[in-house]
């Protein structure tokens, strides 16, 4: 069973953002599988690369959406993204230094972060965007 099970309850009501989140959940699940399946260094490294690439691409997209929608909480939201990028960079350095990152703690951290961020921070953004679509002038 995947570590993060995607359900509609995780939707924030914005298709592009939801699609990105599903893909990010898939990459975290991929790291989980790589760790379970014999923990080959190459596989784990590739899974980490994938998380870094998808997170960077997703955060850029979300930050662009926020800027275009004049989202008032953009700065705080962006700070949360930056904190995760730093955490992953730290994880990568530990991994490259030969330290074991094959722990449930690492995976738990990533999956908890993603679910918490989606349910709190991104949900507020989704609600703001929905209000703007309904009330605001056509954009
Ligand atoms: Fe976000």
40 CA from centroid of ligand 1 (Å):
31
* Domains along the chain with CATH numbers: 15-133 (1.20.120.50)
51 CA from centroid of ligand 1 (Å):
15
13 CA from centroid of ligand 1 (Å):
13
User: Which of residues 39 and 22 earns the better pLDDT score?
Assistant: 22
Average pLDDT over residues 40-49: 78
59 CA from centroid of ligand 1 (Å):
6
125 CA from centroid of ligand 1 (Å):
8
15 CA from centroid of ligand 1 (Å):
14
7-15: long-range contacts, CB 8 A cutoff, minimum separation 24: 10/115, 10/118, 10/119, 11/126, 12/118, 12/122, 12/123, 12/125, 12/126, 12/127, 13/126, 13/127, 13/129, 13/130, 14/65, 14/125, 14/126, 14/129, 14/130
The reported pLDDT for the residue numbered 48 is 83
User: For residue 43, which of 53, 58, 32 has the smallest C-alpha distance?
Assistant: 32
Pair 17, 126: CB distance under 8 Å: yes
Provide the pLDDT confidence category of residue 18 given band limits of 50, 70 and 90: very high
The reported pLDDT for the residue numbered 16 is 95
Over residues 99-132, the pLDDT tens digits come to 876 667 788 889 999 999 999 999 999 999 999 9
135 CA from centroid of ligand 1 (Å):
23
């Amino acid at each position: 069973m995947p570590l993060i099970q995607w359900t509609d309850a995780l939707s924030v009501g914005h298709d592009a953002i939801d699609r990105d989140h599903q893909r990010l959940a898939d990459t975290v699940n991929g790291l989980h599988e790589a760790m379970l399946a014999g923990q080959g260094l190459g596989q784990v490294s590739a899974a980490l690369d994938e998380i870094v690439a998808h997170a960077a691409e997703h955060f850029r997209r979300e930050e662009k959406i926020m800027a275009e929608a004049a989202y008032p909480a953009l700065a705080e939201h962006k700070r949360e993204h930056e904190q995760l990028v730093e955490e992953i960079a730290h994880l990568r350095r530990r991994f490259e230094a030969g330290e074991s990152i094959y722990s449930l703690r690492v995976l738990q951290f990533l999956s908890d972060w993603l679910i918490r961020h989606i349910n709190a921070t991104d949900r507020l953004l989704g609600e703001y965007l929905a209000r703007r679509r309904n009330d605001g002038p056509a954009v």
